[in-house]
Amino acid sequence: MGGDRSAYDAIVLAGGAGSRLGGPDKPDHLVGGRSMLERVVASVAGARRVIVVGPERTAIGGVRWVLEDPPGGGPVAAVAAGLPATGEAVTLLLAADLPFVAAAIEPLLAALGRDDDAVALADAGGRINFLAAAWRTQALREAVAALPDPAGRPMRALGIPRAVPDPAGWGDDCDTPEQLAAARHRAGEE
């Protein structure tokens, strides 16, 4: 990345209701004794600013809370809502359902080369996780500004980040009961 790798901001998208998971909102599901959102926020403790886009949870401090407009407007609308609160040259975009992303933060930051607008974790099959990514903040601002309306847009509308292989699955998300059970097992839960 060059320069000071500690100089980054993080936007955590925490608006998912998690209807497929049942129970509480998706970010509030526990893995390893902590909510997934708590785990993701802890993973970016080194960020200058942590902006969480989603309903405020009083158990989590030290972050700035914002809501996307319109509510439920999707991930690009959430990024657009969080972006004005950033100020560093690099911004991490993280989903709140990545319970093991902590180990990927430094590799993501290190992978962001001088000529990259963005890098993102990619699984063994090459699938890019757009919400486990490091962006040049100016490039992200320009990508959002180029859209007439961010609501309902897929993350790929912002551009395709360069893939960073993630063979250990640090960017694995929890969208289904099976994925949540696997994450809990991985965290050492029964």
Residue 189, both tokens? 């839960």
DSSP string over 101-142: GGGGHHHHHHH--TT-SEEEEE-TT--EEEEEEEEEHHHHHH
Per-residue confidence of the chain (190 residues) as pLDDT tens digits?
Answer: 444 556 999 999 998 655 556 666 889 999 999 999 999 999 999 999 999 999 998 788 899 999 998 888 999 999 999 999 999 999 999 999 999 999 999 999 999 999 999 999 999 999 999 999 999 999 999 999 999 999 999 999 999 999 999 999 999 999 899 999 999 999 997 5
Give the pLDDT confidence score for residue 69 in this predicted structure.
85
Give the pLDDT confidence score for residue 23 in this predicted structure.
62
Q: Are 59 and 29 in contact (CB under 8 A)?
A: no
Q: Are 171 and 98 in contact (CB under 8 A)?
A: yes
Rounded distance between C-alpha atoms, residue 128 and residue 165, angstroms: 9
Tokens 């599901």 -> residue: 29
Cβ-proximal residues to 45 (8 Å cutoff; 6+ apart), any chain: none
- What is the β-pairing status of strands 128-136 and 34-35? unpaired
Residue 150's nearest CA partner among 62, 82, 56 is 82
Domains, the chain, ordered by start: 9-186 (3.90.550.10)
Give the pLDDT confidence score for residue 2 in this predicted structure.
45
In 3-state terms, what secondary structure has residue 186? helix
